[in-house]
Structure 1
Amino acid sequence: MTAVDHATSRTADEPRSGHRCVQWATGNIGSRALRGIIGHPSLQLAGVYVTSAEKVGVDAGVLAGTSTTGVTATDRIDDIIALRPDCVLYMPAVLDVDDVERLLRSGINVVTTRVEFHRPRSMDPVVRERIERACRDGGASIHSTGSSPGFITEALPMTLLSLQRHVDEIRIDEYADLSERNSPDLLFGIMGFGQHPAAFDQGRLEHLRASFGPSLQLLAESVGLTVDTIEVSGEVATVGSAVSIAAGMLESGTVGAQRITVCGCADGRPVVRFRPTWYCTEQLDSNWDLLPTGWRIRVDGDAPLSVDIRMPLAPEDLAETTPGYTANRAVNAVAHVCAAPPGIRTSLDLPQFVPEFA
């Protein structure tokens, strides 16, 4: 039976076990997902796609930091399609629509941590039509998920909303303590920590709008709320006095924390908001509310709720551990996405992801 035949024959409401999976890309999150596939009791590793020449031919276990598997990496999509897997966990740094289209048209389901597929109506219409046609032709489905966006902007808030009969606003705050993150290029070069404050880079604001806006709109729509516009803004807080962090030195008066607000509004009124606060020190000139790394969700409705979630980790352990929050959810989604009808599947289409442990 071909991959297309298998995909179009799915009729069971419950996901089945034994899915053959390919891990596409092996960066921080991809390598953690690869480890999850290897250790999963009901998933079989069929292949690995890599984007760097030095990884071609390397055993998947080496790339995942586990024992050898006998499965080696390739950088050819034709090799992946020839394997006829049930699902590809697609996690590259940059989306290639042509590749995704080929996978789906070949009857291969896709679970991705890319943000482009959270809400079909937010997609570029041309890209959406290409992907939807490929899903129909191949009898396959695709779903975007992860920790943020994904779990914290969709799965958990939707659960909290089950207690409500009226909602005014949903507010999601994310906190990340980066003081022990030894990544100078990321913190100083890309994110702008340690620099003198200036106007927030519009490109970064638009990136956050594109990354979180569709997920927030989907959340609002899950309970019948309408979002007219997605507004985005950013602000920084400066260091009161020079402080040393793992990545280097933050001089007095330079950026020590930053906060971006992505807000979905209806008739000019906030309906749903996501606000990440990233900080390298608590010694700031501004009186910001800085919580330990994690999230806070507040639902203002007829059954008000405020839920704090902490990652019980030392700051120096975050870089090693946090990729699992995104990768594990994608691995746990595989069986449900494979069981779904063909198409771009959102959190509104799929059941709650229940993990299966060895």
Structure 2
Amino acid sequence: MIPTVVWGTGNVGRAAVRAVNAHPALDLAGVLVHSPAKIGRDAGELAGLERLLGVAATDDVDAVLAAGPRAVVYAASGDLRPDEALGDVVRAVRAGAVVVTPSLYPLYDQRGAPPEFRDPVLAAVAEGGGALFASGVDPGWGNDVLPLLVSGLGSTVDAVRCQEIFDYTTYDQEDSVRHLIGMGHPMDYEPLMLAPSVPTMVWGGQIRLMARALGVELDEIRETLDRRALERSVRTRTMGEFAAGTQGAVRFEVRGFVGGEPRIVIEHVTRIHASCAPDWPVPPGGADGAHRVIIEGRPRIEVTVEATDEDENRSAGGNATAVGRLVNAIDWLVDAGPGLYDALDVPLRPAAGRLGRK
């Protein structure tokens, strides 16, 4: 069994605790939290399981890493604290752990990552013998392994489009939804996630990674952005009221150009309520979230994935599949040895030993 720590118990961390607990090769060895209200609580309770797991949450990072866990799922957010997140991850890698995380956007395409992100990780790998694999929570597989797999089913490929279509009505992460993305703010408010160059900073690595796998050279990466205001006030169960006239929907694309044409595109369509921007793409069947891959070519191929978790919540389902990709890579990474890995290095494997397991 591989002793594994989950660091953070928010939307991603809850799913990580459940995934580690369910994996036959992993043993939940610790849970790290930041909130004083979570210290001492059982991991099963924090993860929304119906049973206790016998692992109490702690904020003592030194003690947890000193115990020598073989793996760490770093689930703390890096959106507003990228330097701190990088420091935490480097610390765990230097302690000899295999680390998997969605929190370090620049390392999704680790070969093209800025030196200020890549070099400290490589130094920690050399010093401590650990490893790192970063993949997106949006989820990463929807912007790398799935489109690349599906592209291999066609005769010709003209363009690859990856879509996340999401309604935040049931989401429970108010700071990100309101302030990072701008939902509920006046239309002249510039949210950090939508500022020029930020979408490319977050998703450009996945564009470059797909281009590398497809054997093409990018001319450039460009962004598009469209925003819509709410026509009426709406209220969500977890985040309260969003007023009429404020931002209610966002649509942007990160476009990789090849030969002067946008050939590799990551598109996000997000709403705070289904009534906003109804003419934009919507999930099938009135669902509140879906991930779609469209291969334009011959034949044209379209694959839509819907996942639910935590009482049929599709926002939680997306988090859970992103976490599944990371957690299920841990035993492979342990066998692969020290290094810095990306989605093209780490295979997507069957759920061996997990059929029927709870």
Cα separation, partners in 2 of 1:316 and 1:189, compared to 1, 3 Å: farther
Residue number in structure 1 paired with 2:28: 45
Q: How does 1:171-320 map to 2 (within 5 A)?
A: 171-181=161-171, 187-198=177-188, 201=191, 204-205=194-195, 206-239=197-230, 241-242=231-232, 244-246=234-236, 247-248=240-241, 250-251=243-244, 253-284=245-276, 287-291=279-283, 292=287, 293-311=289-307, 317-320=313-316
* From 80, 91, 98, the counterpart of 2:75: 91
Q: Choose from 59, 66, 77 the match for 2:61.
A: 77
Give the partner amino acid of 1:289.
Answer: P
CA distance in structure 1 between the partners assigned to 2:122 and 2:313 by the alignment: 40
Larger radius of gyration: 1
Name structure 1 gaps, 5 residues minimum. Answer: 1-17
Contact 2:137 2:318 in 1 (8 A): no
| 1:126 Cα deviation after fit | 3.2
CA gap of 1:126–1:147, structure 2 versus 1, over 3 A, is closer
Q: Name the SS for the 2:92 alignment partner.
A: helix
Amino acid of the structure 1 residue aligned with 2:88: D
The 5-angstrom pairing of residues 68-147 of structure 1 reads 68-94=52-78, 95=82, 96-114=85-103, 115-147=105-137
| Superposition misfits of 4+ residues, deviation over 6 angstroms | 312-316
Distance 1:139 1:183 in 2: 35
Q: Which amino acid aligns with 1:83?
A: A
Greater Cα shift, 321-330 or 78-87? 321-330
- Opposite residue 64 of structure 2, the aligned amino acid is I
TM-score by length of 1: 0.83
> In structure 2, what residue type is equivalent to 1:326?
A
How far apart in 1 are the matches of 2:186 and 2:48? 40
**CA deviation vs aligned residue, 1:53-82 (integer Å, no higher than 9, x gap):** 333333323322343333223323321222
SS of 1:73's equivalent?
Answer: coil
> In the alignment, does 2:174 pair up with 1:169?
no
- Determine the C-alpha separation between the residues in 2 that align with 1:50 and 1:177: 28
Residues 22 and 65 from structure 1, CA distance in 2 versus in 1: closer, same or farther, beyond 3 angstroms? same
CA–CA distance in structure 2, aligned partners of residues 338 and 45 of structure 1: 16
- Tell me if the contact between 1:233 and 1:260 (Cα under 8 Å) persists in the aligned partners: yes
Partner deviation per Cα, 1:24-79 (whole Å, 9 max, x = no partner): 11112102211222233221111122222333333323322343333223323321
Matched-pair contact (CA < 8 Å) for 1:170–1:271: yes
Whole-Å Cα distance in 1 between the matches of residues 111 and 173 of structure 2?
Answer: 36
Q: Deviations over 1:1-31 (max 9, x none)?
A: xxxxxxxxxxxxxxxxx21101111112102
- Quote how far apart the aligned CAs of 1:344 are: 1.1
8 Å Cα contact 1:149-1:212 kept in structure 2: no
1:54 is paired with a residue of what secondary structure?
helix
Taking only the aligned residue pairs, the percentage that are identical comes to 27
Deviation at 1:322, TM superposition (A): 4.1
Q: Which residue of 1 is the match for residue 7 of structure 2?
A: 24
Displacement after TM superposition at 1:334 (Å): 1.3
CA deviation string 1:68-109 (max 9, x = no partner):
333223323321222212110111113433332232222211
Cα shift readout 1:118-158 (whole Å, capped 9, x = no counterpart): 11233221331221122233332210124524110011111
CA-atom RMSD in angstroms: 2.9
Aligned length: 339
SS in 1 for 2:349: coil
Is residue 44 of structure 2 the alignment partner of residue 65 of structure 1? no
1:107 maps to a residue whose letter is G
Alignment correspondent of 1:14? none
Give the unaligned 5+ runs of structure 2: none
- TM-score where L is the length of structure 2: 0.83
- 1:353 and 2:349 aligned: yes
Q: Hey, what's the Cα distance between the residues in 2 that align with 1:195 and 1:102?
A: 37
Deviates more, 1:138-147 or 1:194-203: 194-203
**Offset of residue 224 of structure 1:** 0.5
Query: Could you tell me whether the CA contact under 8 Å between 1:116 and 1:123 is conserved in 2?
Result: yes
Decide whether aligned partners of structure 1 residues 259 and 64 sit closer, same or farther in structure 2, where only a CA change above 3 A counts: same
Q: Which one is further off, 34-43 or 22-31?
A: 34-43
Deviations along 1:155-210, whole A, 9 cap, x unmatched? 11111122245433111121112345577665555533345534754652433222
Native 8 Å contact 1:146 1:330 kept in 2: no
Return the alpha-carbon distance in structure 2 between the equivalents of residues 234 and 199 of structure 1. 14
Cα gap change, 1:202/1:26 in structure 2, threshold over 3 Å: closer, same or farther?
closer
C-alpha distance after superposition, 1:245-276 (max 9, x if no partner): 4243542x543321011111235321211111
Q: 1:317 to 1:271 in 2, by over 3 A?
A: same
For the Cα contact (< 8 Å) 1:172–1:275, is it kept in 2?
Answer: yes
| Contact persistence 1:107–1:139 (CA under 8 A) | yes
